[in-house]
């Protein structure tokens, strides 16, 4: 409680020190990773800080178009009741890409009883972390997010025009310093905004695709902050891109024939003394690390929906695309779904490579850490690590399509051990409504292929 009061005082002090702020946004993160909330007058900031903002509990479960879910018990059958929205403790975050000086206060949802609303994806991750704490364990998490810059004038993905050369990008340029320099002002503003919002942006690289980049976020022993950082980073990149007359997209596969956008999660686990329990002094990792790997593999099919939550997501999970399609693990093997990087045993960690950049960071990290914890609790053991090309037909596969992933998320035995039934049912209903939405649309390709032929 004293820590919460200190955070409140920090927000009040920050706003007092920044009288130039004219617009204040308050927002929660929904199941699709989209921030939804309210714009309020600066004079009402104290009401936000004191937990006076209320929004329907159902707001975190709307579909990707922002529509209520048909049949959602939280909406009509339950009267669409409000939840209490409290600040997450992140403070007031300055926004530099809007036309007027602005700031945002991130919120998360509680029930009227003040109990956490476990349908809120941030609360779902916090619940998993409390379970780790009961074992005297603390996850240490870092993330890597890929994105494309595209032309804002086009109706589909088209490479951007270089602000430096005035020419449209026309080739893949993996690890190209020239391409980074072409968009130097964009990256300067991204890093400046990350610093203002306490998002630990580290290395930036040009990736495989035309206009594709990756920025790594530094590891932290606060997994909730790591997820916050990833959510805020995506907003920063998209907002700064608009400022520079570009569009930044975290779609899993904006180009059908080029690399997809991944969201790789690295994690280790510390004990109460701060020791990495994955480190046994060797290159192989400890038995606890193997338990965690086994949990990830055991639950991977039924948690794929968390990592590939959209129609477009499944275009990325294809063989020989630097994205996994098989349930596998290996040492220094980037074709596997779970990779154990090399290096010092003290830094022994797991890299989970399944998620696309379109996924919700809270749900991705909750799903990964939750499955790993089940593996640790049940002392599961993985199969032998796979070496070589992990797209092998001999390996069990991830769900091949969206509907199969939805069914696996519903039928699996591990998901109920990770998520509250409210979140599971909300996510299933959301995804099924989105599937129906896409199924009702006739694409241009269908129309041109079949109009006069069949």
Q: What does pLDDT average to in each consecutive run of 10 residues of the chain (454 residues)?
A: 59 83 92 94 80 89 93 66 91 89 93 94 98 98 96 85 78 65 88 95 81 93 98 97 95 92 98 97 96 98 98 94 93 95 95 98 98 98 93 91 98 97 96 96 91 88
Distance separating alpha carbons of residues 356 and 334, to the nearest angstrom: 15
Q: Both ends of the chain: CA-CA distance in Å?
A: 69
Interior CA angle at 36 toward 35 and 38, to 5°?
A: 125
Distance separating alpha carbons of residues 353 and 202, to the nearest angstrom: 19
452's tokens: 């006069």
User: Residue 200 carries which DSSP code?
Assistant: -
Distance separating alpha carbons of residues 19 and 35, to the nearest angstrom: 25
Interior CA angle at 353 toward 350 and 359, to 5°?
A: 120
Q: What is the pTM of this model?
A: 0.94
The class that CATH gives domain 2-117 is: alpha beta
**Residues 236 and 245 sit within 8 Å (Cβ to Cβ):** no
pLDDT at 5: 58
For residue 198, is it left (φ>0), alpha (ψ between -120 and 50) or beta?
Answer: left
- Kindly give, in sequence order, each residue whose CB lies less than 8 Å from that of residue 442, ignoring residues fewer than 6 positions away: none
Distance separating alpha carbons of residues 261 and 354, to the nearest angstrom: 11
pLDDT at 1: 47
Distance separating alpha carbons of residues 359 and 355, to the nearest angstrom: 7
User: Residue 171 carries which DSSP code?
Assistant: S
Of 3.20.20.70, 3.30.590.10, 3.30.70.2190, 3.40.50.261, which CATH number belongs to 130-418? 3.30.590.10
66's tokens: 């922002």
Distance separating alpha carbons of residues 302 and 299, to the nearest angstrom: 6
Distance separating alpha carbons of residues 140 and 360, to the nearest angstrom: 19
Topology alike, domains 2-117 and 130-418: no
Structural domain boundaries in the chain:
2-117, 130-418
pLDDT at 182: 81
């Amino acid at each position: 409680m004293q820590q919460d009061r200190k955070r409140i005082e920090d927000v009040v002090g920050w706003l007092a020190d920044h009288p130039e702020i004219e617009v204040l946004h308050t927002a929660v993160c929904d199941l699709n990773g989209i921030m939804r909330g309210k714009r309020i007058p600066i004079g009402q900031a104290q009401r936000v800080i004191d937990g006076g903002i209320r929004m329907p509990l159902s707001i975190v479960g709307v579909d990707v178009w922002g529509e209520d879910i048909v049949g959602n018990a939280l909406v009509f059958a339950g009267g669409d009741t409000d939840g209490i929205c409290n600040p997450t403790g992140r403070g007031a975050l300055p926004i530099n890409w809007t036309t007027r000086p602005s700031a945002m206060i991130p919120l998360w949802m509680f029930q009227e009883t003040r109990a956490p609303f476990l349908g809120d994806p941030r609360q779902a991750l916090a619940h998993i972390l409390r379970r780790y704490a009961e074992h005297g364990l603390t996850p240490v998490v870092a993330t890597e997010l890929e994105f494309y810059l595209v032309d804002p004038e086009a109706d589909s993905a088209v490479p951007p025009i270089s602000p430096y050369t005035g020419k449209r990008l026309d080739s893949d340029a993996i690890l190209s310093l020239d391409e980074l320099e072409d968009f130097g002002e964009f990256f300067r503003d991204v890093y400046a905004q990350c610093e203002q919002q306490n998002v630990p942006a580290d290395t930036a690289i040009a990736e495989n695709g035309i206009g594709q980049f990756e920025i790594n976020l530094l590891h932290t022993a606060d997994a909730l902050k790591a997820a916050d950082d990833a959510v805020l980073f995506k907003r920063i990149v998209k907002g700064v891109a608009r400022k520079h007359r570009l569009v930044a997209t975290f779609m899993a596969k904006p180009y059908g024939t080029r690399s997809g956008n991944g969201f790789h999660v690295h994690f280790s686990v510390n004990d109460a003394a701060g020791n990495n329990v994955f480190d046994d002094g060797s290159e192989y990792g400890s038995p606890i690390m193997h338990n965690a790997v086994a949990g990830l593999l055991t639950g991977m099919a039924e948690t794929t929906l968390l990592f590939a939550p959209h129609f477009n997501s499944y275009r990325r999970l294809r063989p020989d695309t630097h994205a996994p399609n098989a349930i596998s693990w290996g040492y220094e093997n980037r074709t596997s779904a779970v990779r154990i990087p090399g290096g010092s045993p003290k830094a022994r960690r797991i890299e989970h490579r399944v998620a696309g950049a379109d996924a919700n960071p809270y749900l991705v990290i909750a799903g990964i850490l939750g499955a790993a914890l089940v593996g640790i609790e049940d002392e599961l053991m993985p199969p032998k690590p796979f070496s070589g090309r992990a797209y092998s037909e001999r390996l069990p596969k991830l769900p091949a399509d969206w509907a199969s992933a939805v069914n696996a998320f519903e039928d699996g035995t591990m998901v109920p051990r990770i998520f509250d039934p409210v979140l599971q049912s909300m996510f299933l209903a959301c995804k099924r409504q989105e599937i129906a939405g896409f199924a009702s649309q006739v694409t241009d390709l269908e129309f041109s292929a079949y109009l006069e032929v069949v």
